[in-house]
């Protein structure tokens, strides 16, 4: 199970706090080629050094590759191909690539076909909204028509597993406009939909806007109402709500992301990527958020790495938090081992936790109508410090 982080974007979205570097189309082709080439050289070098670690995850993890960012679709296909080839021959059960609609629409049918040839069999597309005013406020590069055209191109190229991202909880997003946005997403009939409440991330443009009084956050009531609308409309359309922020047509749940929520080992490659390895309680490692560069002699200097071994308490908290984000929930005996009995019993009695049918040991989950306040519920289950 492999994640590759691509740290490049053409522009920064208003709300984004993820590590990325601007790589504008206005830059000279020679400059872009050098930056992308150094990045690919460094990732391929890292793959070679961590090949044994990658192999060690195989017995525990699904055979998946996820290339995210940033905006992976800003990379030329031949750069992506270098990285995929360096990983070695593989037919991934799921190979996901994150894309921006503008890149797909600009590349046309040829670009979509090239992704298929590369082996990509699942595309995650950051649509975010179907309202052009909202998209401009977000500083997105595409408009609504471009998003629809990108989806059409991918579908025409043979992609039958497309996920689209949406964002709700903007103070200027009316309930009517949100319902229209969800309806437009459903009209495309994607196999998967991810939807996230707008949050104010440190180091984002939005954080500065809030600080300066140029943006007022949406009320909890407005956010809750839009989340409830989303849940209702997607359920009516036949989508399975399998994780707090994720819905899929039956059988189209994300294999890679679902493994994260089960604390399956994975290897993260590239700047700012994280990894997780066993044995229990687990080791979390990470790469520094910096581009590869060359010194005066031309020697490639790569991002640095660090790691920490989780404590038993940290592992318990992570296990509870990740499992209870999902509709599959967590084994009740395991939850009782990881959390004091009193809050478990109180939450079961109040309906904030609910027993779910299971052929084996009993399991509990947060019911869908409590998902919106899941953070509060999960916090009560963490072992006392």
Mode of pairing for the β-strands spanning 64-69 and 21-22: unpaired
Query: What pLDDT, on a 0 to 100 scale, did the predictor assign at position 289?
Result: 94
Tokens standing for residue 129? 């909204």
* Structure-token match 């597309």, residue found: 125
Mode of pairing for the β-strands spanning 2-6 and 267-269: parallel
Are residues 26 and 120 both part of a single domain? yes
Are residues 70 and 173 both part of a single domain? yes
CATH code, domain carrying 8: 3.20.20.70
The answer to whether 201 and 167 have CB atoms below 8 angstroms apart is no
- The answer to whether position 181 is within a domain reads yes
- The answer to whether position 371 is within a domain reads yes
Q: How far apart are CA 229 and CA 7, in angstroms?
A: 34
Tokens standing for residue 352? 């904030």
- The full DSSP string for 261-319 is HTT--BEEESTT-EEEEPSTT-EEEEE-S---EE-TT--EEPPPEEEEEPPHHHHHHHH
Are residues 320 and 246 both part of a single domain? no
Instruction: State how far the alpha carbon of 81 is from the alpha carbons of 61, 117, 118, 150, 307, in Å.
Output: 23, 10, 7, 21, 29
Q: How far apart are CA 292 and CA 5, in angstroms?
A: 13
- The answer to whether position 289 is within a domain reads no
- The answer to whether position 282 is within a domain reads no
For the chain, the domain total comes to 2
- The answer to whether position 323 is within a domain reads yes
The share of the chain scoring above pLDDT 90, in percent, equals 83
CATH code, domain carrying 327: 1.10.10
Sequence-distant (≥ 6) Cβ neighbours of residue 160 within 8 angstroms: 191
- The answer to whether position 347 is within a domain reads yes
Phi-psi region of 145 (alpha: psi -120 to 50; beta: other; left: phi over 0): alpha
Count of other CB atoms within 10 angstroms of residue 230: 24
Tokens standing for residue 213? 């009084």
Sheet holding 267-269, edge to edge: 240-243, 246-248, 192-197, 162-168, 122-128, 94-99, 64-69, 2-6, 267-269
Are residues 115 and 223 both part of a single domain? yes
Q: How far apart are CA 128 and CA 147, in angstroms?
A: 10
Are residues 15 and 150 both part of a single domain? yes
Q: How far apart are CA 97 and CA 71, in angstroms?
A: 9
Q: How far is CA 51 from the centre of its chain?
A: 24
Are residues 135 and 16 both part of a single domain? yes
- Between the CA atoms of 125, 131, 209 and 22, what dihedral angle is there, to the nearest 10 degrees? 40
- What is the span of the domain harbouring residue 328? 312-385
The pLDDT profile of the chain, 385 residues, written as one tens digit per residue, is: 999 999 998 888 888 877 888 776 666 577 678 899 999 999 999 999 999 999 999 888 889 999 999 999 999 999 999 999 999 988 899 999 999 999 999 999 999 999 999 999 999 999 999 999 999 999 999 999 999 999 999 999 999 999 999 999 999 999 999 999 999 999 999 999 999 999 988 888 888 999 999 999 999 999 999 999 999 999 999 999 999 999 999 999 999 999 999 999 999 999 999 999 999 899 999 999 999 999 999 999 999 999 999 999 999 999 999 999 999 999 999 999 998 778 999 999 999 999 998 888 999 999 999 999 999 999 998 866 5
Q: How far apart are CA 121 and CA 102, in angstroms?
A: 20
- The answer to whether position 306 is within a domain reads no
Nearest to 368 by CA among 203, 176, 234: 234
């Amino acid at each position: 199970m492999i994640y590759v982080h691509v740290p490049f974007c053409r522009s920064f979205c208003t709300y984004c706090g993820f590590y990325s570097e601007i790589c504008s189309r206005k830059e000279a082709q020679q400059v872009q080629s050098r930056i992308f080439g150094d990045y690919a050289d460094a990732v391929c070098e890292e793959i070679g050094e961590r090949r044994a670690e990658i192999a060690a995850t195989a017995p525990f993890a699904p055979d998946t590759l996820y290339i995210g960012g940033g905006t992976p679709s800003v990379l030329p296909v031949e750069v992506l191909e270098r990285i995929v080839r360096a990983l070695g021959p593989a037919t991934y059960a799921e190979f996901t690539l994150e894309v921006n609609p503008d890149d797909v629409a600009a590349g046309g049918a040829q670009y979509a076909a090239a992704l298929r040839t590369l082996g990509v069999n699942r595309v995650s597309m950051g649509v975010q909204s179907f309202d052009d005013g909202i998209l401009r406020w977000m500083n997105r590069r595409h408009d609504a028509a471009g998003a629809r055209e990108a989806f059409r191109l991918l579908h025409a190229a043979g992609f039958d597993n497309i996920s689209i991202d949406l964002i709700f909880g903007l103070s200027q997003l009316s309930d009517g406009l949100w319902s229209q946005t969800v309806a437009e997403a459903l009209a495309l009939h994607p196999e998967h939909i991810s939807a996230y409440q707008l949050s104010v991330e440190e180091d984002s443009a939005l954080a500065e806007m809030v600080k300066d009084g140029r943006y007022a956050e949406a009320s909890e009531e407005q956010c809750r109402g839009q989340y409830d609308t989303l849940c209702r409309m997607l359920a009516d359309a036949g989508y399975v709500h399998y994780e707090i922020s994720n819905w899929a047509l039956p059988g189209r749940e994300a294999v890679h992301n679902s493994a994260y929520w089960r604390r399956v080992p994975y290897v993260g490659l590239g700047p700012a990527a994280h990894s997780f390895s066993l044995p229990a309680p687990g080791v979390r490692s990470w790469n520094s958020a910096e581009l590869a560069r060359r010194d005066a002699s031309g020697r490639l200097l790569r991002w640095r790495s660090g790691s920490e071994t989780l404590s038993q308490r940290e592992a318990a908290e992570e296990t509870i938090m990740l499992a209870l984000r999902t509709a599959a929930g967590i084994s009740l005996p395991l939850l009782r081992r990881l959390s004091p009995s009193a809050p478990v019993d109180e939450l079961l009695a109040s309906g904030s936790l609910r027993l779910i049918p299971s052929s084996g040991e009993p399991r509990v989950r947060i019911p869908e109508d409590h998902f919106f306040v899941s953070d509060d519920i999960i916090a009560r289950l963490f072992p006392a410090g």
